[in-house]
Amino acid sequence: MTKLAKREATVLCSNVDQVNNEFKQHGEKAILVSPATSVRSVPEGTEVAFSHFFVNTNKDSGETYDVGGGKFALSRVVLDKIAAQAGVNWDPVRSRRLDDGSDPHYCCYFACGRYRQFDGSEVGVQGTKEMDLREGSAQVLALVERYETKLAQWHNSGKRGYPPKDPRSGQIREMRLHILAHAESKARLRAIRAMGIKSAYTADELKRPIVVARLMWTGHTNDPELRKEAFRMRMQAMMGAGQAMYGAVPTLSQTPSMSSLSSLAPTIALPPNEPPPPVGSTYDDVDDIPYESGTESREEHVVEQPVPQNDEPCITFGKNKGMPLSQLTDNQLAYYISIAEKSIADPEKQQFRKIAEMQLSEYRTEMNERKKM
C-alpha cells in the first residue's frame, strides 16, 4: 500500500502547454477529477492547481468500503477531500430540507454547490437524499432483511465470530436521532459524485493517485500595474474578511427597525416545503455508506417505481436514472430486463415484486417494439 503521507502534493501551472501536459499525464496514470481535460488559455492572475493524493483501501482506514465484486467505493472522508480541493462552495440558501419536518422519521434534503471552471465561470453540482426511517418503509425493511440474512449465515457457519448486530437495537435509532444530518451529508456526497466520480473502483484503479484540478487565483502576472492591483485586492480581502462575510457594521441611525425587517423579501424564491409521502412509497435507493448488516452490490438491489417523463417510461435507478427507455441501447435494455427478472425471482424481495413486474413489462414492450422495426 502506498504511503499516503509521503505522496500528497500540489502542482501549480500557468502556462497552457504545461497545463495540457499535466492533463495528458494524469489522464493516463491517475484518477482525474476536473471540469475539463484541456485548456486553451488561463485567465490572467490565475493558475491551474493539480492536487495529488492516494487512497488507502485497507478496510480499517475508513477511506473506502467494499461493495462486492472486487470493487471499492470512496467514503465520505475522501469525497469531502475531493470537494475541498476542487473548491466546491455549498449554497446556504438553495441547500435546504425539502420536506416540512412534520414526521421526525422522514427527511428529504437538497444540496447545491458551485465550483469554478477554467474560464473563470462557475458550474453547479447538486444532489438529493431521501431518508425514510418510518416503520414499514423500504429503507427500514431492507436493513432488517439484510440483518436476518447475515444472521442466518452466521448460524450456518456454526456461530463463528460475533453475531451481526440487530439494526433495530441501535443503528436505526441512531439514524433517526440524526436524520437531518444524515440526509444533508448524503445529499452532498451525491453532489460530489456528480463531478465525474465513479460509484466504485477496483483495487488496481485505486493504486493510482487521485488528481483534482481547479482554477486558483494567485495574482501572478507579468504586468506591473496588475501586480499592484492584485496586491491591493489581496490586502483588502484579508483586512476586510469580516465585512465581506457579514457586511459593514451599521451605525445607530442605519439600524433597521423590526417593521422594515419583516417587509424584506428573500433574494431567491424557493418552493414551499412538502409533507412526507405515505409510508411504502419511498425506496431503499443507492447509498453512500454501506449498511452495517450487509455490503451487497447496490445497483442490483435497487427497485423503484417508474417515474414517467413526458408519458414515456424511464429508468428509475442506477447511472441511467431518469433516461427514457427509448434512449437506451439494446445492451442496456437487456441488462435492465435481467435485473428485473432477478428481482422477481428473489424470495427476499417479494415486497417489490409488483413494481419489478411492472418494470419488466415496460422493458419487454420496448424491446419487442424495436424488433418490429
What gap in Å lies between CA 147 and CA 52, rounded to an integer?
39
Among residues 280, 277, 275, 281, the alpha carbon closest in space to that of 99 is found at: 275
Question: What pLDDT is stored for residue 263 in this prediction?
Answer: 47
Q: Name the stretches of the chain with pLDDT < 70.
A: 1-8, 227, 230, 234-235, 237-269, 281, 283-312, 318-319, 351, 373
Question: What pLDDT is stored for residue 273 in this prediction?
Answer: 81
3-state secondary structure of 110: strand
3-state secondary structure of 46: strand
Per the DSSP assignment, residues forming a β-bridge with 5 are: none
Residue 62 is given by DSSP the state S
Q: How many residues does the chain have?
A: 373
CA angle 127, 214, 191 (to 5 degrees): 5
Question: What pLDDT is stored for residue 5 in this prediction?
Answer: 39
**Grid coordinates of 62:** 475508513
Task: Please answer whether residues 282 and 334 qualify as being in contact, where contact means their C-beta atoms are separated by less than 8 angstroms.
Answer: no
Per the DSSP assignment, residues forming a β-bridge with 274 are: 99
CA angle 30, 32, 35 (to 5 degrees): 165
Give the H/E segment covering residue 99: none
Among residues 368, 305, 319, 251, the alpha carbon closest in space to that of 138 is found at: 305
How far is C-alpha 118 from the chain's CA centre? 22
* CB-facing half-sphere around the CA of 266: CA atoms within 13 A: 8
First to last CA, the chain: 53
Statement: the pTM of the whole predicted model exceeds 0.75: no
Task: Please answer whether residues 103 and 69 qualify as being in contact, where contact means their C-beta atoms are separated by less than 8 angstroms.
Answer: no
What gap in Å lies between CA 339 and CA 334, rounded to an integer?
9
**Grid coordinates of 180:** 437531518
Per the DSSP assignment, residues forming a β-bridge with 64 are: 74
How would you classify the pairing of strands 46-53 and 210-217?
antiparallel
Question: What pLDDT is stored for residue 104 in this prediction?
Answer: 93
What gap in Å lies between CA 121 and CA 135, rounded to an integer?
46
